Structures are given as structure tokens and as C-alpha cells.
Amino acid sequence: MTHYSNPVLDADWPDPDAVRVGDDYWLVASSFNRAPGLPVLHSRDLVSWEHVANALPAVPPAAHYALPRHGSGVWAPSLRHHDGLFWIVYPDPDHGIFVLTAEDPRGPWSAPWCLIPGQGLIDPCPLWDEDGRAYLVHGWAKSRAGVKNRLTVVEVDAALRRVVGPARTVVDGDELPGFRTLEGPKLYQRDGWYWIFAPAGGVATGYQVAFRSRSVWGPYEHRVVLAQGDTPVNGPHQGAWVDTPDGDDWFLHFQDRGVFGRVVHLQPVRWDDDGWPVLGDEGAPVLTHPTPAPGAEPGEPARSDDFASPGLAPRWHWQANPAEGWAVADGGGTLRLPAQPSPRGNLRDQGAVLCQQLPGQPSTWETRVGLIGDAPGTRAGVVVLGREYAWTGLVRTPGGVEVTVRRGGAHGDEEIVAQEPVPGGATSVVVRAAVDAEGAVTWGWRTDDGTDDTDDPGWHEAGPPWQAHVGHWIGAEVGLFASAPLGADLRPDDGGTFGPVRVTVAGKDA
């Protein structure tokens, strides 16, 4: 019998929700300001996952998200299958609740439409019940609405186009002893009960609760069904209840791991004699467990990229809605990023930073960086991006091309940590970012001799280790970029070129 170890997705896949249709499992996660957004993952066994698509090419309103809006955008989505369609319902806490559909989760997805406009409405989930009526449950963000810690249900039409009844608070966390920040509800129906699975107590310190009622409007009774206990899994948070074709039940939820983001765990579910779900090991998260499908081999989405196919793979996303020409990926094994004007030279301001999540285990990222252009200040490199960031790569100076390590924050100028001329006047180097188990980054570079010899003794350590930082509601990211000072005299080809990106996680190719 094969076993899996938690987390099954050891990277930042925040606020996961999932459904099973036939023998296939599909999962979506929050994407916030990043585009394309709403990542769609696929599995046949709940422990081996592939990132197959992104449902949202650009975040609406398009003009608003043409700039990085860190922490805004797509918050906790829900994913359902109904009437032959897949439905994603997601909140933008500044604009309202949106819906999009597809016949195939791999796409194409419809353009999103706004079901309920407004501020502070978060974490929506629809239910088409056994009586043919449709409902939506959601929570509240105090930062926008002035209230939180309550769950609201509203009746909507079956097409999720309009509200057809008044909204009612069905659970008020302020009336429950010890409850705070009740959020992330998922609405289900089973054995004549309406169920709401929802976490409370905060992202890093909370617990999972199950509510049930004979009426969607309540009153609801509740039990805490998953809590940290004596395990290292802090704050087991919101997720998805799914079943297998054989009738077994499982629960996917996240754990906040700081700089590594919200990683996804899988818990077995059984039902007690009173009809309540028992998650994990009698309510505590399991660390290892037999796989749902015998013989299943756990596996995570790919990270490396040889750029051998035209276009960008689903694993890549920008920090804002992309503009035409941000990337040239023709499938020839090289990615070109034309230099984008950067008014402050601060990468947190730059939408054209192409990123992936930082894996939750030690990882090494290597690629060949080339710099094209004579305008002073033009630069290209590899960045580890959070509320603060650091990068290594090439910069054009009045004296030529130099390899540099720099760091920056949300405000002010970047600090040069290390900088030296590239030997022989070359305009390309191979760079490396090695991230340890605590998120400390060691930067390195070597001259570009046209090979991919990772054992080359010519590696230079570039500056002291730097501790990665969390982002706004997300973990740290690893990205590629090219930029230039505002007003620089740039030609269309000026910018950065990147060879294949090789990623190893825990010493294995990823």
C-alpha cells in the first residue's frame, strides 16, 4: 500500500476548493492581483496534481488591475459542477462577487460577470439544492464592509445571474463563544442536511468547523472538526470536501507556512454515529496516510521550463494584467522580455514580472540571463519577490554590463548588495537562486560558456544570504524581469533574454 505525506501541494495554493466529476478531480485557488488568475489543477487520485489552465486571463476591471494591486483581486473562489458546466464563483473584495463557466476546466472559460456588486463580500460558494433552488453563502471582510465573523446566505437564480431573495445572516460568529474571523464557507447538502464547512480563528491559528441545519436558513448547530492539536500543522484552514468514485470522503485544506504561502493538505473523512464528519486522525491533521487510490504516486505541478513550446505555460503569471508585448515566447528555447519602463526602479511597482510560487522545500532556480540594450540602467534578472525583494542579474552601467545583487522594499530606492563587471565584456551570465528550508536565498552566477553544466566550478557566490519575505496574502515568488528607467532610449529588442529555467526541489528535478 502506498502512502502520501502532507502537504500534497507544498507551495502557495491559497484557499483551495475542489470537485470530482467522474474519475477526475479539479482544484482552484486564490490568485489575488496576478494574471492570468484562477489556476486550475487536475488530479486522478488527489495526491498527484498538474496545473493545466488558468481560468481568468485578466482580472476585471482590466484598467484597474493594469497596475499591481497587491492583496486585491481574486480572493477565495469556489468550484462546482452543475447542469453540464463547471462554475467558478470568486470574490473581489473591492468590486463584488463574480461568476464564470466552462464545459471543460481546461478551458475556454467564459468572461466573468458580476453576480453581486459591492465591497467586502468574500468567499462565496453556490449550492443548487435537491429542490431545484440555488443559494449562495459568503463571508465578510471587515477592511471593506466594517463587519466580519458572520456567514450570509442569499437565494439566487439557477444561472447565477441575479439575486432573487433577501440576504440573511445564518451564522453570527460573535454569538459563538471563542469564535473570531469566521470565513471561507463552503455549502453542501447531504442526507437531508445543509452543511457549511468554514474555518474560524484566523489563517495561521484557527480551526475547521462544520455547521448543519435542516433548512438552508438555519438554525445551524456546529462542531469543531479539525484543529492543530499536538501536530505541527498550524491553523488547518478552509478547503473542500470531496468524495471518491468508491464513496470515500476526503477534505483538502490549507496550512499557512509564511514565506512558503498556504500549502494544501489532504485529510481522510469518516462519519460518526450522529452523522458528523470526523476529519484526519480523530480531528487532528494526519501527516502521512494511505493514498486514496492504491498505488498512486504523489506528485506536484512542474516548475522547470525549457521554453520549447510557443506561449507561456500555465505555471507562469504576471503581477498585473499583461500588456501586449510583455513576453516573446516563440518556442525556440529562449524567452525574451522587452524592457519595461520603471518609474521608481522598484520591482513591486512593475506588473511585468513573470513569476511562479516559491516551493515549500529547499529549491534551486537556474537560468541564463542575457542583456540587450545600451541605455544605462537597463537590467534583467531573477527576483525573489514579496513585501520586500532581492534579485540578481545584469545591469547596463556607463562602464559596461555588470552582474549585480540588489534588494528593495515597498518604498525607496534599491540597495546594491554586490556588483562587478562581467568578465570579458560578456552580456550574458548563468544565475542561480538557492533557497533553503527557512526561505534564505543564496545568490550565485557563473560565466556563460554555452553549456548547462551545473557542476561548473566557476560559480561565484554573489553577496550574503538574504531572507525571503511573504507577500500580501501570499508567499514569496520567484520571477523573471527586464526593466529600464523611465524615459530611457529603448529599442524594441532591448531587454532581457532567458534560457531554460531549471528548478530542483529537495534535490530533485521539478
Contacts of 357 (CB under 8 A, 6+ apart): 11, 12, 13, 261, 474, 475, 477, 478
How far apart are alpha carbons 439 and 161 in whole angstroms?
44
How far apart are alpha carbons 98 and 124 in whole angstroms?
9
How far apart are alpha carbons 502 and 510 in whole angstroms?
8
Q: Are 267 and 231 in contact (CB under 8 A)?
A: no
Q: Which CB contacts under 8 angstroms, 24+ apart, belong to 203-208?
A: 203/235, 203/237, 203/256, 203/262, 204/234, 204/235, 204/256, 205/234, 205/235, 206/181, 206/235, 206/236, 206/237, 207/235, 207/236, 208/236, 208/237, 208/238, 208/239, 208/251, 208/253, 208/279
Residues paired with residue 87 on neighbouring β-strands, in sequence order: 80, 101
Q: Are 407 and 384 in contact (CB under 8 A)?
A: no
How far apart are alpha carbons 31 and 270 in whole angstroms?
31
C-alpha cell at 203: 489563517
Q: Which of 191, 154, 76 is nearest to 122 (CA)?
A: 76
How far apart are alpha carbons 399 and 284 in whole angstroms?
61
Could you write out the three-class secondary structure of 47-59? CECEEEEEEECCC
15 catalytic residue (yes or no): yes
C-alpha cell at 362: 529547499
Q: Are 509 and 502 in contact (CB under 8 A)?
A: yes
Cα 291–chain centre separation: 24
Q: Which of 32, 26, 27 is nearest to 261 (CA)?
A: 32
How far apart are alpha carbons 248 and 474 in whole angstroms?
32
Residues paired with residue 137 on neighbouring β-strands, in sequence order: 125, 153
How far apart are alpha carbons 260 and 3 in whole angstroms?
24
Total length of the chain: 510
How far apart are alpha carbons 384 and 357 in whole angstroms?
10
- The region that residue 173 occupies, defined by phi over 0 for left and psi between -120 and 50 for alpha, beta otherwise, is alpha
How far apart are alpha carbons 318 and 253 in whole angstroms?
26
Catalytic residue among 10, 12, 15, 17: 15
Catalytic residue among 10, 12, 123, 183: 183
175 catalytic residue (yes or no): no
State how beta strands 477-485 and 340-342 pair.
parallel
Give the angle 373-379-383 at the CA atoms, nearest 5°: 150
Among positive and negative, which fits the CA dihedral 257, 259, 261, 265? negative
Catalytic positions are 15, 183
